[in-house]
Structure 1
């Protein structure tokens, strides 16, 4: 059994060597390869990655032609992997490579996907971090249809035949377990260590949260409504209709009570308009996502371009 470790890299010059060294120590006795995908870094990550690739045939280097995002880098690594099991790990050293063995042992229990759970990630930050994280993961679990405690943990393992055919766009790499579970794959979760970043700065910002939410909507659509679009759009239409009726009831109540006349306040119409426009934009986003997927897949195009490959 061969293991492919894939790590997307973006401006991680201070972390790459230690990460690769720790992975090599953790996987002593295993047949493995490490694929570092440089996603258009502007620091010396490319040079460090090249030097590491020259020291061992187990280390593969891929340099993207620009910054295409974490999901595109992961997709690129998967397509160039040769292992039977694919393991994803962040390059910022927040994931502990020694946990790879724990994940592999869980895979031996018959799981097709195993996800890491950074249980003690936020320490005593109960109000500002733990509770919001708990709520977010419960919400995502509810919508995605698979309960996981830590959807945001990059450290995950997949059987190659499960992940190979999954099209990845946007921020969808984090939802692969839900996608796999919807197709009958057994998904497990293990507690893993979390280490605070020591070098470089985080590439995660508030904007990524909104992108994750939008991608979650698309995943839900793909898992449940792809063959029944009328159920999806009809459901949205019903919600809009219900809101319209509710707005009308409130307007009538205000009229009967003598508080406001129908034309004395634009609030009911304004609220209904905002809700309808928002829902329509989300629906349009889903349709655009499907068009984009059809375009890429029908033409065999990739959401990235490669500039250079070493040991591949």
Structure 2
């Protein structure tokens, strides 16, 4: 039996785009040869989005509509859709008609080649070059450089994921764009494919240049969780020891100034620097110890493993070794 598709579409004040979007989906999805569902998440819209979605859901039972109580943001709305999805392949996309459902077969074709995540790449992007395109290029460059996962367009919502890749993933902030990074760090095969990008016709864009700042902050969080989630003391403790070393250095220089240059302690800010850096160092180490306790509580109280099994041989559980198949075989 073919894999079931779950198309996940967050919507916020997109009343004029709902009918055209449904028409485009209905023109593509039935011809794919896969069972499918479309999950439309109304992210607290203040226009007629709610009413129009309810009308559509009454006409087509393959549409699953979710109304959030207020506007929680795109990532939270996408997470709601992921939690409700029943498909083997999850395909999120925007509801503003800038993503084209006609590109879904191209994503599926890449999955059939053996990839686990296929990310859309808007090569010819139809957005404001200053407010949207330039910040996006900067953000994409930073994300690729810091994460080591090189994609041209992290911000494109149109992607395809195998369900097992994002099982258990929890999204916060603007984290939905970082799922390919999370997947790659877990050993998934990630690629990208060029997709069509249409100019927005109805409604207003919800994003501006300030989004780049949020992306950078979220990227710092993702990098921290990758490198130090298991051993937070390495980060906090390392910073603490560096601060203590700086404090000792300032103290020795303070003594040098006193006995060799004849300067009184109160003539320089060195005593304050000694105390400040020593306190910062001690506090950082104590924070590291607390983080270590929290991490152990997290894993042990929920029986969370600190590893991921790829496959087994002759174990009690049924053998499973998908990754050991030749590339492209599934």
Task: Indicate whether the TM-score tops 0.5.
Answer: yes
Q: CA deviation at 1:28?
A: 2.3
**Structure 1 segment 135-146 matched on structure 2, within 5 A:** 135-146=138-149
* 2:147 aligned with 1:173: no
- 1:81 alignment counterpart: 85
- Taking a change above 3 Å as real, the CA distance of residues 96 and 229 of structure 1, as seen in their structure-2 partners, is same
In 1, Cα distance between equivalents of 2:247 and 2:132: 37
* 2:221 aligned with 1:195: no
* 2:133 aligned with 1:133: no
Contact 2:131 2:209 in 1 (8 A): no
* 2:95 aligned with 1:95: no
- 1:258 alignment counterpart: none
Give the stretch that moved more between structures: 202-211 or 175-184. Answer: 202-211
Deviations 1:273-300 (A, max 9, x none): 9xx8xxx8xx99xx7xx89xx6xx97xx
Q: Which runs of 5+ in 1 are unaligned?
A: 249-261, 299-312
* 2:63 aligned with 1:59: yes
Q: Which runs of 5+ in 2 are unaligned?
A: 252-265, 303-330
For 2:99, what is the secondary structure of its paired residue?
A: coil
Deviations 1:30-65 (A, max 9, x none): 321110001111100001111111111111101111
Q: CA deviation at 1:244?
A: 8.1
Deviations 1:9-31 (A, max 9, x none): 11110111111211121112332
| TM-score, normalisation: structure 1 | 0.76
| TM-score, normalisation: structure 2 | 0.72
- 1:306 alignment counterpart: none
- The number of equivalent residue pairs is 279
For 2:15, what is the secondary structure of its paired residue?
A: coil
* 2:185 aligned with 1:152: no
**Structure 1 segment 1-312 matched on structure 2, within 5 A:** 1-30=3-32, 31-121=35-125, 125=129, 132-237=135-240
Q: Which has the higher contact order (CA 8 A, sep 6+)?
A: 1
Deviations 1:253-311 (A, max 9, x none): xxxxxxxxx9699xxx8xx99xx8xxx8xx99xx7xx89xx6xx97xxxxxxxxxxxxx
For 2:101, what is the secondary structure of its paired residue?
A: coil
Q: CA deviation at 1:217?
A: 1.1
Deviations 1:124-180 (A, max 9, x none): 94x776555333212111222311111111111101111121111121111010001
In 2, Cα distance between equivalents of 1:240 and 1:122: 48
In 1, Cα distance between equivalents of 2:58 and 2:190: 36
In 2, Cα distance between equivalents of 1:246 and 1:16: 64
Contact 1:79 1:164 in 2 (8 A): no
Contact 2:132 2:208 in 1 (8 A): no
Contact 2:90 2:162 in 1 (8 A): yes
Contact 2:127 2:199 in 1 (8 A): no
Q: CA deviation at 1:4?
A: 0.4
In 1, Cα distance between equivalents of 2:173 and 2:128: 32
In 2, Cα distance between equivalents of 1:215 and 1:230: 21
Which has the greater radius of gyration? Answer: 2
